[in-house]
Structure formats: C-alpha cells, structure tokens
Amino acid sequence: MSTRKRIVLLGATGSIGSSTLKVLENHSDRLELVGIAARSNVDGLAEIADKFGVRQVGLFDPAAGARAAADPRFKSGTVFYHGVDEVASLATLPDADLVVVAVVGTAGLKPTLAAIEAKKTIALASKEILVLAGEFVTRAARENQVLILPLDSEHNAIFQCLQGAHHRDVQRIILTASGGSFLDRPIETMDRVTPAEALNHPNWSMGDKITIDSATMANKGLELIEARWLFDLRSDSIDVVIHRQSFVHSMVEFVDGSILAQLSPPSMTFAIQHTLLFPDRATGTHPSLDFSTAMRLDFQPPDTSKFPCLTLARQALEGNGILPAAFNAANEVAVEAFLDGRIGFMKIPVIIEKTLEVIPNREPSRLDDVTEADKEARGIASRWVAP
Ligand code: NDP
Ligand code: MG
C-alpha cells in the first residue's frame, strides 16, 4: 500500500493549481495526486491527468464535463465528476488524505464541507469560502477534528509562527500587504486605472480576480476576515501593514511584545509545500532568501483613503452577521464588471459600500442563510453595474 500522502486538487488549472503541481512533482516520493478538478478547462485537465497519471477528474461546469468524458486524451478507466455535487464526492474519495481548495470565489464551498465531513485534511487557498461561511466551515472542522491548513501566504506565515504557542498569549497578528499595483500611484489618477494596469502586479503572478483584489486592497480585507476565522481573533487583534518587498509574509505579536515573522521570497510554493508536507519539511522548489547582497525590508501603514476596501472589510467584519458575505459578493460583482470595462476602478469600493449600506444585516443561523445573503448582495451590487 502506498505511504505517500494522497492529494485531491480543486482548481488544478489555475495559478495556485500549477504551483501545487510543481511542489507535487518535486516531492513525488511523498505526495501523490489522485484527483483533479477545474471549472471548464478540459485541455488543462487532460494535460495534468496525463502527466500525473490521474484517473479521477472533476469539472464544475457539467457541459465541460460531458466534453471531457468524450475526449480521447483521457485514459480509459478515467472517472469523471460532473457539476459541483459530483466534485464534492471527488473531494471525499476514500483514497485521498488531503484536499487542496484553490478555485476562484466560493464555488469550492460545498466540496470543502464534504471533504471536512469525510475527515480529509484541507489546504485552503480559497479565502472567499471563509469570508462567506467562516463560522460554518470552522465549526464543521472542529466537530470533525479536521485540520484546515492555511495556504494563503499570510495565514500560512501566521500558522507557522503560532506553532507551539498558546492562543491566550497572542496579542495581535500583523498581516503584511504588498500594496498591489498602485502603491505609489497618486490618488487623483486612480479613476483612470485600466484593467491591464491593475493586472500588472509588481511581486506576485496570480489569477486575475486576486490580482485586482490586490490592487484595490480588497484582498487584504478578505484576508482580515479569513484570519478572524482561521485564528479565532477579534478585529482589533488583526492589523495590516504595507511591506512592499513581500519577503515578510506576516507576523505574530505575543503579549510580552515579542514578534515572530515568517520570511521567504514571493513565491506561493513555500506556503503550498508547507501545507502539503505538514508537519514535515523538505528541500524547497524555489531558492530561499539571499542575504549575501543588501536588501531592505520596508513597512508603512496603509493609506485607507486610497484603498477604501480595507476599511469596508473591517466594517463588515465588525458588523458581523451576513455583512462579510455581502462584502465578498459585492466585490466579486464589481471586479467582474471592472475587468469587462463596465465600471471604473474606483467604482469597486463604491459598489461594495452601497451594498453594505442597503442589505439588511442579520445573524445567519444556517448555511443557507449565508448563501441566500450572497445572492441578495449580488443582486444589490448589480444595480450599480451597467449590463
Ligand atoms: P486562477 O484564476 O489562476 O485559477 C482558478 C481555478 O479555479 C482554475 O482551476 C479555474 O478552472 C477554477 N475556477 C474558476 N472559476 C470557477 C468556478 N466558478 N467554479 C469552479 N472552479 C472555478 O486563480 P488563483 O489560482 O489565482 O486563485 C485561486 C484561489 O486561491 C482564489 O480563491 C485566490 O483568492 C486564492 N489565492 C491565490 C493566490 C495566488 O497567488 N494566486 C494566493 C493566495 C490565495 P478553469 O481553468 O477551468 O477556469
Ligand atoms: Mg495572501
């Protein structure tokens, strides 16, 4: 019987997906890919299935699933999972140990909950899932005694700094932010930002949605809320600091004033490898930081007038109830509209703000309450977006 850790990778064709495949390739003695899924990229999945010998293939989009099932590039005997419900069963395969959740947005919520109930360890990149349904996901993980390993680099850094620490000794955590594409751009010119400019991130190469979220700093806002659930902290124990070099991935301050940080170059392979091999470590796929030449580590507070999404996320977090779900939904609607050229860049925070103002807040008692709030917020946000 195989002693390798068996991995299911949701979002295999994306940016995190391809970095995960790099780590898997480098550590094929310890890790085995047993299942993959994407939305509709049949070509990408066929290539990965062939290269890694994977026979369990999921497509969130059922029509693409039907195309894949008829595609001769997949070896005979390949089992296909069509649509989100079947992808959820892919995430519970008896021969899987760990599920990497790296799909954009909240499409991975159902498969993640299914995997938790099947007692699979989760490596979570899809922060939107915790913003939408953090209470339900973390409760399910506690009840099933399942570990959620943070794959987002900031949260992974905090997780590493917290090893061996007591929760009561944590004073605060400090999330670092690169500041995105417009850290130095004058505020008066922010209205004229084009999608191409916003997609050009100085440090990180990522999917389109998260690159825009970095440019507006909504990404750090989502990460605030993500941190609240992953580490069970209040909003006033989570700070954000701009660190343009992206070497320090985040920090933890303890009650005695000591601060621990995790450092590595801006490559997601560090966080991914950490989650896949945890609690073990092994040689990395990327060179580590080089101290033989001079380097700087700069820190500065974020400019919240230029990046209102950060303040809006904190308001949503503090307002609690369904406001974090509404923040996430309105942001997704606005980002899509910006990428399609239907709204200007600075309209993104305006649409989020209006949605948070209009939607009636309430305490969600069931998972359906947050998914309904998500739909309602999308409807509200769409009113300010030209069709
Ligand atoms: P990409 O856009 O590069 O990839 C997205 C993946 O998700 C693809 O496999 C895509 O499939 C699939 N996907 C897209 N939309 C849907 C949908 N509606 N339903 C199901 N699957 C879908 O994204 P990233 O890899 O950049 O990001 C993935 C997640 O990881 C996001 O939640 C992001 O916030 C988070 N993250 C990313 C980081 C990064 O460095 N990129 C860093 C930290 C977190 P297909 O190819 O078929 O469209
Ligand atoms: Mg991050």
> Does residue 191 form part of some domain?
yes
Contacts 24+ apart (CB under 8 A), 92-95: 92/117, 92/118, 92/120, 93/8, 93/34, 93/35, 93/56, 95/6, 95/34
> Does residue 92 form part of some domain?
yes
Q: Last residue of a domain, which of 72, 102, 125?
A: 125
Whether residue 84 has pLDDT greater than 80:
yes
Shortest-distance Cα residue to atom 5 of ligand 1: 14
Contact residues for 326 (Cβ-Cβ < 8 A; gap 6+)? 316, 355, 356, 359, 373, 374, 376, 377, 380
Instruction: Choose which residue among 210, 211, 335 to substitute to test ligand 1 binding: the one with the highest number of ligand atoms within 8 A of its C-beta.
Output: 210
Question: Looking at the structure, do residues 231 and 109 belong to the same domain, yes or no?
Answer: no
**Are the C-beta atoms of 32 and 56 separated by less than 8 Å?**
no
Question: Looking at the structure, do residues 47 and 162 belong to the same domain, yes or no?
Answer: no
CB of 105 shorter than 6 A to ligand 1? yes
Model confidence pLDDT, tens digit, residues 49-83? 999 999 999 999 999 999 999 999 999 999 999 99
Structure confidence at residue 23 as a pLDDT band (50, 70, 90): very high
Question: Looking at the structure, do residues 89 and 209 belong to the same domain, yes or no?
Answer: no
> Does residue 144 form part of some domain?
no
Query: What CATH code is carried by the domain that includes residue 46?
Result: 3.40.50.720
Whether residue 282 has pLDDT greater than 70:
yes
Model confidence pLDDT, tens digit, residues 291-315? 999 999 999 999 999 999 999 999 9
Task: Point out which residues pair with 168 in neighbouring strands.
Answer: none
Task: State residue 64's pLDDT score.
Answer: 97
| Nearest partner of 100 among 23, 159, 43, 170, judged by Cα | 23
> Does residue 134 form part of some domain?
no
Shortest-distance Cα residue to atom 2 of ligand 1: 207
Taking the centre of ligand 1 as the mean of its atom positions, its distance from the CA of residue 293, in whole angstroms, is 35
Question: Looking at the structure, do residues 237 and 345 belong to the same domain, yes or no?
Answer: yes
Instruction: Indicate the pTM of the whole model.
Output: 0.97
Number of folded domains that form the chain: 2
Sheet bearing 98-101, strands edge to edge: 79-82, 56-59, 31-38, 5-10, 98-101, 121-124, 148-150
Determine the structural domain holding residue 312 and report its residue range.
Answer: 156-267+302-385
Contact residues for 84 (Cβ-Cβ < 8 A; gap 6+)? 60, 107, 110, 111
Chain position carrying tokens 């809006």 = 312
Model confidence pLDDT, tens digit, residues 124-136? 999 999 999 999 9
Question: Looking at the structure, do residues 171 and 84 belong to the same domain, yes or no?
Answer: no
Say what percent of the chain tops pLDDT 90. 97
First to last CA, the chain: 55
Taking the centre of ligand 2 as the mean of its atom positions, its distance from the CA of residue 362, in whole angstroms, is 28
Task: State residue 2's pLDDT score.
Answer: 55
**Amino acid identity for residue 306 in this structure:** K
> Does residue 340 form part of some domain?
yes
**CA of 113: how far to CAs of 83, 146, 373, in Å?**
16, 11, 19
Whether residue 334 has pLDDT greater than 90:
yes
Whether residue 114 has pLDDT greater than 60:
yes
Question: Looking at the structure, do residues 87 and 26 belong to the same domain, yes or no?
Answer: yes
Query: What CATH code is carried by the domain that includes residue 324?
Result: 1.10.1740.10
Question: Looking at the structure, do residues 190 and 327 belong to the same domain, yes or no?
Answer: yes
Taking the centre of ligand 2 as the mean of its atom positions, its distance from the CA of residue 245, in whole angstroms, is 14
Binning the chain into helix, strand and coil, the percentages to the nearest 5 are 45, 15, 40
Question: Looking at the structure, do residues 217 and 317 belong to the same domain, yes or no?
Answer: yes
Question: Looking at the structure, do residues 42 and 178 belong to the same domain, yes or no?
Answer: no
Whether residue 341 has pLDDT greater than 70:
yes
Task: State residue 203's pLDDT score.
Answer: 87
Whether residue 1 has pLDDT greater than 90:
no
Shortest-distance Cα residue to atom 39 of ligand 1: 206
Model confidence pLDDT, tens digit, residues 213-249? 999 999 999 999 999 999 999 999 999 999 999 999 9
Task: Tell me whether residue 48 is exposed, middle or buried, using C-beta atoms within 10 angstroms of its C-beta: 0 to 12, 13 to 18, 19 or more.
Answer: buried
Q: What is the mean pLDDT of the chain?
A: 97
Model confidence pLDDT, tens digit, residues 180-213? 999 999 999 999 999 999 999 888 889 999 999 9
Task: State residue 130's pLDDT score.
Answer: 98
Shortest-distance Cα residue to atom 20 of ligand 1: 39
Instruction: Choose which residue among 39, 100, 128 to substitute to test ligand 1 binding: the one with the highest number of ligand atoms within 8 A of its C-beta.
Output: 39
Question: Looking at the structure, do residues 72 and 180 belong to the same domain, yes or no?
Answer: no
